Structure 1
Amino acid sequence: MTETDGTLDYWDTRHRQQDELASGGHIGLDRAGNELFYALRLGTLLGLVGDLSSPAAPLFVLDAGCGKGHFARALARCGHRVDAFDASEEAVDRARAAGGGPRYARARLDTWRSPWPYDIVVCVDVLFHLLDDTEWSAALRNLASLVRLTGRLILTDEDTPVPRARGDYILHRPTAAYRAALEPLGLRHTEFRPYRFREIEVGFHVFTRIR
């Protein structure tokens, strides 16, 4: 998540006090609503990632900002090799305790390093919590650096032409801002797939590395 001590305290507290769905889902939804919200996002994400892996050649996937590991565990159940990290110590501890196959670590979006590139890097409902533009840009650059040639960076935000703040800890940035940050790094915007869940306008932006 974000880097300031105050923000990390917020996420540590949220992961400690909220259940495994509300802590990384929609805090305004009840349990049934979050069950549906997670299922919808997961189904769309798995469709975007695809099923091209095999026991002999699994896809190598990174879940950046994994929270308590809900999506990371699902990706691992599909046979993918999954690394996952989050800046919240509380979230990572809970994810490790749940097990399920992924390798977990604590790191920020702009500091995670890997000795190998990933086929897929996913970052679900994290980047719009980075209010500082410098921090957001550094996170994007680092995530882009982790994607192999022809691999995909799958991240979530609204498909908006202008910045839109929602409350005190969400800033949706224009699709053009993502393209301006990522296209010079060799990633082309290839798809936007909205959640289509209630009033939420967020969806999956897919960037594919072409060089």
Structure 2
Amino acid sequence: MEELGATETAEHWDRRHRQLGALRSGGDAGYDEASNEIFYAMRLGRLIDIVGDRTEQAAPLRILDAGCGKGYFAHAMARFGHAVDGIDLSEHAVELCRQNATGNSSFQVSPLAQWQPPYLYDVVYSIDVLFHIMDDALWEASVTNLATLVRLGGQLLVVDHQSEVDRTWSYYQRTRALHRYQSLLEPLGMQVDRFVPYGFRGAPTGFLVLERVA
């Protein structure tokens, strides 16, 4: 099984975003449109459960959607009144995000490991992205960089499996064990708060919720 490198991964997702519809391109290509509708709604519901239901226009949460795809979650968070930055490797997806932008939102083409804004975020989330980074060094750099963008008391939400071992599922999907995240992020002042499973059709995927405590 030949795994995708960084360049091949970027090309794969740009091609997928160009070829598949708004939901299947960033959802599960094995599901039909109706199933993906439910899948997106459930993930958004879990995200709201974690982030909370505040909608203060005068003092919005500053949020980073890391790997925003065509913007389903970023657009929703912007509609809720938050200030949202979205980044993705796919130029096609980012252009669509800009065309459909709403509220206080901005979208840029950038790798997760290289995004360096002039401010910190209240919430950084990366939904169904990190387990598509096959190269361990790039995965570590991406996770580490996202953690450095979270303010004190802020949250980092990363989607993976709740597992004690790494597992390679295909040429473009590798999940990492909990201890991998802990060893990387605890020295950066991040503390694991909880794991929130999607609860969608028995899949082990969910949000690993971390908080910056130092």
**Same fold, TM exceeding 0.5?**
yes
- Residues 129, 169 of structure 1: 8 Å contact kept: yes
Segment of structure 1 superposing worse, 78-87 or 53-62: 53-62
Q: Distance in 2 between matches of 1:187 and 1:201?
A: 23
The aligned counterpart of 1:178 is 181
Aligned residue type for 2:187: P
The aligned counterpart of 1:144 is 147
Q: Distance in 1 between matches of 2:188 and 2:73?
A: 26
Q: Distance in 2 between matches of 1:206 and 1:185?
A: 15
Aligned residue type for 1:68: K
Unaligned runs of 5+ in 1: none
Of 12, 15, 22 in structure 1, the residue corresponding to residue 14 of structure 2 is: 12
The aligned counterpart of 2:54 is 52
Deviation at 1:134, TM superposition (A): 0.4
Aligned residue type for 1:153: L
Q: Distance in 1 between matches of 2:55 and 2:42?
A: 22
Deviation at 1:95, TM superposition (A): 1.2
The aligned counterpart of 2:64 is 62
Q: Which runs of 4+ in 1 moved over 2 A?
A: 2-5
TM-score by length of 2: 0.95
Unaligned runs of 5+ in 2: none
Q: Distance in 1 between matches of 2:131 and 2:195?
A: 16
Segment of structure 1 superposing worse, 188-197 or 88-97: 88-97
Deviation at 1:46, TM superposition (A): 1.1
TM-score by length of 1: 0.97
The alignment's C-alpha RMSD in Å is 1.2
Q: Distance in 2 between matches of 1:187 and 1:3?
A: 28
**Residue deviations 1:137-162 (CA, integer Å, cap 9, x gap):** 00011101100000000110000111
Identity %: 47
The 1:3–1:120 alpha-carbon spacing in structure 2 relative to 1, beyond 3 Å, is farther
**Residue deviations 1:136-191 (CA, integer Å, cap 9, x gap):** 00001110110000000011000011111112110010011111111110000001
Segment of structure 1 superposing worse, 107-116 or 89-98: 89-98
Q: Distance in 1 between matches of 2:55 and 2:99?
A: 26
The aligned counterpart of 1:100 is 102
